[in-house]
Chain A
Amino acid sequence: MSDQQLLGNFTDQDAPAYEDVLQCMRCGFCLPTCPTFALTGRERSSPRGRVALARAVAEGRLDFNLAMKEEAFFCLDCRACTSACPSGVKAGEVMEICRAQVHQQLPAPKWQGTLRNLVLKKMVPNPDLMETSMLPARLYQKLGIQWLVRNSKILKLGPAWIDKAEGMLPALHPPLRPQLPDLSPAKGEKRGTVAFFLGCVMTLLYPEVSRQTVKVLNHQGFDVITPKQQKCCGAPHLTEGDRDTTREIAAFNLDLFLDLDVDAIVTDCAGCGAALKEYEEILAERADHERLHLFHQKIKDISEFLFTQGIRTEGLKPVEKSVTYHEPCHLCHAQGISKQPRELIRSIPGVEFREMKEASWCCGSAATFSLKFTDESQKILDRKLENVRKTGAEILVTGNPGCHLQLAWGLQQAQMPQSVLHITELLGLATPD
Chain B
Amino acid sequence: MITQSAVEQLEQALGKDKLITAKEDLLVLGYDSTPGLHAMPDLVVYPTSTQDVIKVVEVARGHNIPLTPRGSATGLSGGSIPINGGIVICLTKMNRILEIDEENLTATCEAGVVTLDLFNAVAEKGLFYPPDPGSQKISTLAGNVMEDAGGLRGLKYGVTRDYVMALTCVLADGSLISTGGKSVKDVAGYAFKDLLVGSEGTLGIITEITVKLIPPPQTKQTFLAYFDNIRTAGEAVSKIIAAKIIPSTMEIMDKATINCVEDYAGIGLPRQMAALLLIEVDGHPAVVAEEAEALKAILEQVGSAEVHQAKDAQDAMKLAEARRTALSALARVSPTTLLEDATVPRSKLADTFTLIEQLTEKYQLTVGTFGHAGDGNLHPTVLCDERNEDEMKRAHAFYDELYEQVLAWGGTVSGEHGIGIAKKGYLAKQIGPGGVAVMRRIKSAFDPQGIMNPGKIFVSEQE
Contacts and interface: CB of A to CB of B under 8 A. Distances in A.
A318 interface: no
A32 B114 contact: yes
Secondary structure at the A interface, as helix, strand, loop or mixed, is loop
Interface string A1-12: 110000000000
A19 B33 contact: no
Interface stretch (A49-57, A144-152, A344-352, A414-422): A49-57
Interface in A15-31: 19, 22-29, 31
Among A22, A28, A62: residue with most chain B CB under 10 A: A28
Among B31, B46, B138, B139: residue with most chain A CB under 10 A: B138
Interface in B69-84: 72-74
Contacts of B137: 29, 32
A62 B26 CA distance: 12
Contact of B35 (A25, A43, A88): A25
B115 to A, nearest CB: 11
A43 B41 CA distance: 14
30 contacts: A2-B387, A25-B327, A25-B328, A25-B331, A26-B31, A27-B74, A27-B331, A28-B135, A28-B138, A28-B139, A31-B72, A31-B138, A41-B92, A43-B29, A53-B28, A56-B27, A62-B23, A62-B24, A68-B24, A86-B260, A86-B261, A86-B264, A86-B265, A86-B325, A86-B328, A86-B329, A86-B331, A87-B328, A88-B263, A88-B264
B441 interface: no
B22 interface: yes
Interface string B18-41: 000011110111011101000000
Contacts of B114: 32
B29 to A, nearest CB: 6
Given A24-B331, A32-B114, 13 more contacts: A19-B335, A25-B35, A25-B327, A27-B328, A31-B138, A43-B28, A62-B24, A67-B22, A68-B24, A86-B260, A86-B261, A86-B329, A88-B264
Interface string B41-52: 000001000000
Interface of A: 1-2, 19, 22-29, 31-32, 41-44, 48-49, 52-53, 56, 61-62, 65, 67-68, 85-88
B93 A41 contact: yes
Contacts, number: 88
A22 B138 contact: no
A286 B208 CA distance: 58
A27 B28 contact: no
Contacts of A42: 25
Given A25-B337, A29-B138, A41-B92, A87 B28 contact: no
A44 B337 CA distance: 23
B27 to A, nearest CB: 6
A227 B114 CA distance: 51
A29 B329 CA distance: 11
B300 interface: no
A86 B46 CA distance: 29
B185 to A, nearest CB: 37
B387 to A, nearest CB: 6
A86 to B, nearest CB: 4
Contact of A23 (B31, B325, B335, B387): B335
Nearest to B333: A87
Interface in B58-114: 72-74, 92-93, 114
Contact of B138 (A32, A41, A67): A32
B335 to A, nearest CB: 4
Contacts of A23: 331-332, 335
Nearest to B44: A43
Given A53-B27, A62-B23, A25 B264 contact: no
Contact of B135 (A27, A43, A44, A87): A27
Contacts of B33: 25-28
Among A19, A29, A62: residue with most chain B CB under 10 A: A29
Contacts of B331: 23-25, 27, 86-87
Nearest to B30: A52
Contacts of A27: 33, 74, 135, 327-328, 331
A119 to B, nearest CB: 31
A20 to B, nearest CB: 10
Contacts of B315: none
A43 B93 CA distance: 12
Nearest to A42: B25
A87 B332 contact: yes
B385 interface: yes
Nearest to A84: B137
B73 A28 contact: yes
B33 to A, nearest CB: 5
Contact of A44 (B28, B74, B332, B385): B28
A19 B332 CA distance: 11
